[in-house]
Amino acid sequence: MTPEQLAAAVGCRVTMAASWLPHIEEAMGRFEIYTQAQQAAFLANIGHESGHLAYVRELWGPTDAQRRYERNFDAAWPPTPDDQRNKLAHSLGNDQIGDGIKYKGRGLIQITGRSNYRRLGEALGLPLEAQPESLELAKYAALSAGWFWQVHGIGAVADAGNFDGVCDLINKGRMTKAVGDTNGWAERLALYDAAKGVLA
């Protein structure tokens, strides 16, 4: 792949694409993102998720959604089924004070939560739980996206031509029946079309 092709596929400047290219190619190789269908879907989604390779760290408000990353220590743990406040924090493994912001989304596909940092760190041989900021480095930001893609079995969905399903798995964590209900669907689809064009 050339920097020009990557720039078109993710929607960034060629100079930025040139600096990211070796890391993205390493991630695609390591996590077996080989087919044209997979590469196009992968590039389109990392392009959208990272603001065209501009962001490797979640923008922090904190918003109401981000406040839910943090455990409410006044409630039972693990949370009861009707405890919506702690449900997300529990699913992310955020059980210590400050985990919400410490393990906020990082990487080209926003890895979020203590337990995901731990799993990714084990896969990459990195102490990510102790050093979460490492995911802001280009190499690990790209590798984290490849890891996410592989562990969620997204390649098979891409090879089946189900781009909507790919986007659902990345953005929602599950496939939905509706088509185009993923956040940023229009941009993801435009980048996907661009990526298919340059990779053909």
Interval 112-130: pLDDT, tens = 999 999 999 999 999 999 9
Q: Contact 86/72 with Cβ under 8 angstroms?
A: yes
pLDDT band at 171 (very low <50, low <70, confident <90, very high): very high
pLDDT band at 111 (very low <50, low <70, confident <90, very high): very high
**DSSP tag of 52:** T
Tell me the pLDDT of the chain averaged across its residues: 95
**Per-residue confidence (pLDDT) for residue 195, from 0 to 100:** 97
* pLDDT above 80 (res 21): yes
Interval 160-175 mean pLDDT: 94
* pLDDT above 90 (res 84): no
pLDDT band at 199 (very low <50, low <70, confident <90, very high): very high
Q: How much is the pTM?
A: 0.94
- Determine phi and psi for 41, rounding to 5 degrees: -70, -40
Interval 22-43 mean pLDDT: 98
**Per-residue confidence (pLDDT) for residue 103, from 0 to 100:** 98
Q: Contact 129/114 with Cβ under 8 angstroms?
A: yes
List residues bridging with 106 in a β-sheet: 57, 111
